[in-house]
Structure 1
Amino acid sequence: MGDLLQLHQDAGIQLRILGNLWEFWEAVTVSTLGFGGIGLRSALPRPERH
C-alpha cells in the first residue's frame, strides 16, 4: 500500500488520531455536517461525565 499517511494527504483526507473520540463526536453531532456513526460501535466506552 505504500505510505498510508501520504496517500491520505494526497487524497485530501483529514486524518485525526484522538485519545478520546467522544468529545469530537459530540462536536460533530451539533454541527451542520452530515455524519454517520456506524464505526462508533468499535470505540472505547464513553467516559463518565463529572
Structure 2
Amino acid sequence: MINIKTLTVRLDDELHQKFKIYSITSGKDMQKILVEYITKLVEENQDDKK
C-alpha cells in the first residue's frame, strides 16, 4: 500500500486564478499538474547529485 501525503499550497488570488485557467485549458486537474511538475523537478535534481 502506498502512503499518500497532503501538501497545502498558499497562492494569492491572482496566481490561483491563472493556475486554474491553465488547468482547465490543459485538460488536467491542478493536483495532476503539480505532481507532474514536482516529480520532474525532483528527478532533474537527483541527476545533478549523481
Report the TM-score, using the length of structure 2 for normalisation.
0.26
Q: Relative contact order: is structure 1 or structure 2 higher (C-alpha 8 Å, sep ≥ 6)? A: 1
- Greater per-residue helix proportion: 2
